[in-house]
A and B are shown apart, each in its own frame.
Chain A
Amino acid sequence: MAGPMKMRATLNGGVTDVRVLMTHPMETGQRKDPDGKLVPLHFIQNVTLKVNGKTVVESQISQGISRNPVFTFRIKGGAKGDRIEVSWIDNHGETNQTETAVA
């Protein structure tokens, strides 16, 4: 099961900052485990940001993103209480999502 996500969305002078944390190993496929075996490639490929159900950012990412990814996105305007959703899917088809309200 995918590890936790955490998100904050804060309205500041007409712009909403969305900061989202995700638990993921983002394995490059080149790292060896303590037994000397290669750890298989395992990374998030897509991150989607929605505001009140409407997609506003579509991201494609690679194993070059750091382990436990952290992204900040910005939304024009926004109002307190707007529903923010972020979801991801990785190269194994595993997914996770979280949502919060703009504060």
Chain B
Amino acid sequence: MNPLRRTLLAAAAAIVLKPLAALAATWNKDGFGAKTTADALKTLGATQPLPSKDLLIEAPEIAENGAVVPIEITSNVPGTTSIAVLIDKNPFPLVGKFDFMEGALPFVKLNAKVGETSEVRVVAEARGKHYVATQEIKVTIGGCGG
């Protein structure tokens, strides 16, 4: 590759990467640093979320391994703009917050670490209100342990 072409490519890469990094600047430091679910919810402005049957959690009741626990969330609450996922018993309960814009459905499937048997708490925001649903996930021991 000739030097000029290399320089041009590097410049092109920088242009592509920079706006992405700039866009991705928001990260709720206080929320992710909170050691309790209550403190994390405060940073989301969701101190008293309303229980909702329209917020669906699809997750196994028993996980063979806490390192990978699949959790699928669907919000049928009209006007949902974000979904936050918390594992109550984790050292830092808040594991993710997903903001949905025009074009995306309020749905996410992820794999979370669940350190010990815990409630999974999902909080959705819709039209200025917060809604909540929970499910317990039990974590067990798998094989030989040797």
Residues on A facing B (Cβ under 8 Å): 15, 28, 30, 45-46, 48-49, 51, 54-67, 69-77, 87-89, 93, 95, 97
Interface contact tally, CB-CB below 8 A: 120
> Could you tell me if A70 and B95 are in contact, using CB atoms closer than 8 angstroms?
no
Known: A66-B67, A74-B104, A74-B105. A60 touches B113 (CB 8 A): no
> Could you tell me if A87 and B24 are in contact, using CB atoms closer than 8 angstroms?
yes
Residues on B facing A (Cβ under 8 Å): 16-17, 20-21, 23-28, 32, 67-69, 72, 87, 90-105, 107-113
Closest 7 pairs between A and B when the two form their complex, measured CB to CB: A64-B95, A46-B24, A72-B109, A66-B111, A74-B105, A56-B104, A61-B96
**A59–B83 alpha-carbon span in the complex (Å):** 10
> Could you tell me if A60 and B26 are in contact, using CB atoms closer than 8 angstroms?
yes
- Residue pairs across A and B with Cβ atoms less than 8 A apart, 13 shown, are A46-B26, A56-B100, A59-B96, A60-B96, A61-B95, A61-B96, A61-B97, A62-B92, A62-B95, A65-B96, A66-B68, A74-B107, A95-B21
The residues of A that contact B107 with a CB separation of less than 8 Å are 72-74
